[in-house]
Structure 1
Amino acid sequence: MDLTLLKNYKKPIIEYSETGRNYTYNIIEEGNYLPVAYLKYTKRQNGFQIPDNYEVEMSWIKPKKRHLVRCIIKYVDNNPIYWVCYGNNYQHQIKSEKSCSDAASLYAKALDPETKTRHSGPYVFGLQLEILQQARNAKRRAATLKPFDNLTLTGQNNYAKKIAKSVHAIFNQTAIKSYHLEDKPILKSIEFDNFFILVWGRKMLKT
């Protein structure tokens, strides 16, 4: 994912192509992911996370027919409910408490009760779109992480140690690839936000 694209993401119209089909998504509400304990996934292998308060207009073209629907997902009692709205003013509604695929199937049968057509629920709802997944995850992290200055001293220490361990691991991996074995490079200290200096092998020092 291009971080610049994510930073500039403002509920765009997204074009998506898969297996000969072209989908267009107009994001109305990108939604959010619930805490892990309540978050649901689609049932396929490596299923997609299912957002709450999500709304999108989606269109795709099949031979001789253009589909235009508005899809909505909301959690009720910690379970996602799916709506597919269609018609000139989206006056018709399909509702499913089972899955997005069930909602897509009910939509197809509403248009033609005899149809054997099967629509991909995740694609109809746009659950496969990585840029939306990234945006929701970024929003969730922002909601759970406190600004550094708002942390207690213990929290600031733990935060700095966590970053230092990651930097140290990256340094060691890079050193193995970039230095001769006899060089034995050592990372002695890390300065964090002009506030902490971490001296490796010793206690953290506050400056």
Structure 2
Amino acid sequence: MSDTQEIHNYSFNPIINFKKSGHSFSYKIIKEKTYPNKSLLAYTLSPNKYRISDDYMCFINYIDNKPVFQIWFGKYFEHVVSSVRNATDVTNLFHKEYTSLKKTKTSGIYLFGLHLKTLEMAREGKRRAHILKPIDQCGNSTLTKRAMSIGKHILAEFNEKTQKLYNLEDVPALEIKALDEENIPRNSYRRLCAIEHNLPCEGEIFKERININEIMVQLILITIVNINTKSQVDESEGVDIDDESITQEVINAVGK
């Protein structure tokens, strides 16, 4: 059984707590960023060989195809130490500048969170997102998974924003409605019109429907026929057909 543990609800909550052998670290993830292409990707030293992401917020940036590790500190983050060697080297430089205890040491891997499996999976998901198939080439299962993923991200963003915009005693709820390609219900269309002002309102659609009906009446004459009513034939009325057999067939067909 592994002696390491990652406690989190990422990406709904940006906090990841990592525990190992009596030590614990707490990370607040701002952005996990992505891995460079395999030809440029750098790794930490053996035996773990963790992948090093690019454009990291704490901070790792690839310059001339090599990762440069930076730590910004100070009240206004006005100080910075950097190293092109590895994460631990820049961590030691940070302690020399910031910590009064000169012998203090911290693993650069743990400081930068390069070991976190949660972030590794998140970055892999971002990498795969760049090669996603177009919608018209996807099946229903793939489209459903994508819709669920979008919903989760929207919910995470909603939960984060509501903490800043609502009172703690409020219980805001996010309501998501699904629309298919059939006729849109009236209430759903009203909601769309409220956020998409370029859509015609309900009243305009009703007037246009009446106008179309009036045009169709003029173009296509419609006559109502009661098929249950039998036509009456006046036998005394003169006929244009001299053949009595044909006349009798007509009478039999329409009913006498």
Indicate whether the TM-score tops 0.5.
yes
Correspondent of 1:86 among 63, 69, 73: 73
1:87-131 CA distance string (max 9 Å, x none): 223222111111111111111122357722221011000111111
Say whether 1:127 aligns with 2:114. yes
Cross-structure match for 1:189: none
Offset of 1:18 from its aligned partner?
2.2
Cross-structure match for 2:33: 31
Offset of 1:148 from its aligned partner?
6.9
Correspondent of 1:98 among 68, 85, 90: 85
In the alignment, structure 2 segments of 5+ residues that lack a partner are: 1-7, 139-256
Residues 1-207 of structure 1 correspond to what in structure 2 (within 5 A)? 9-10=11-12, 12-55=14-57, 71-112=58-99, 115-147=102-134, 149-150=136-137
Distance (whole Å) between structure 1 residues aligned to residue 76 and residue 12 of structure 2:
25
Letter in 1 for 2:127: R
Question: May I ask how many residue pairs the two structures share in their alignment?
Answer: 132
Letter in 2 for 1:31: K
Offset of 1:9 from its aligned partner?
1.4
Q: Secondary structure at the match of 2:49?
A: coil
Higher strand share: 1
Give % identity: 37
**TM-score normalised by L of structure 1:** 0.57
Q: Secondary structure at the match of 1:83?
A: strand
Offset of 1:27 from its aligned partner?
1.2
Identify the structure with bigger relative contact order (alpha carbons < 8 Å, sequence gap 6+). Answer: 1
Distance (whole Å) between structure 2 residues aligned to residue 86 and residue 146 of structure 1:
42
Distance (whole Å) between structure 1 residues aligned to residue 46 and residue 100 of structure 2:
26
Q: Secondary structure at the match of 1:54?
A: coil
Q: Secondary structure at the match of 2:70?
A: strand
Task: Say if 1:83 and 1:103, in contact at 8 Å, map to a contact too.
Answer: yes
Q: Secondary structure at the match of 2:29?
A: strand
Distance 1:90 1:134, change over 3 A: same
Please list every run of at least 4 consecutive aligned residues from structure 1 whose deviation after the TM superposition is greater than 4 angstroms: none
In the alignment, structure 1 segments of 5+ residues that lack a partner are: 56-70, 152-207
1:25-62 CA distance string (max 9 Å, x none): 1111211011111111111313110001111xxxxxxx
Higher helix share: 2
Task: Say if 1:11 and 1:30, in contact at 8 Å, map to a contact too.
Answer: no
Distance (whole Å) between structure 1 residues aligned to residue 77 and residue 20 of structure 2:
26
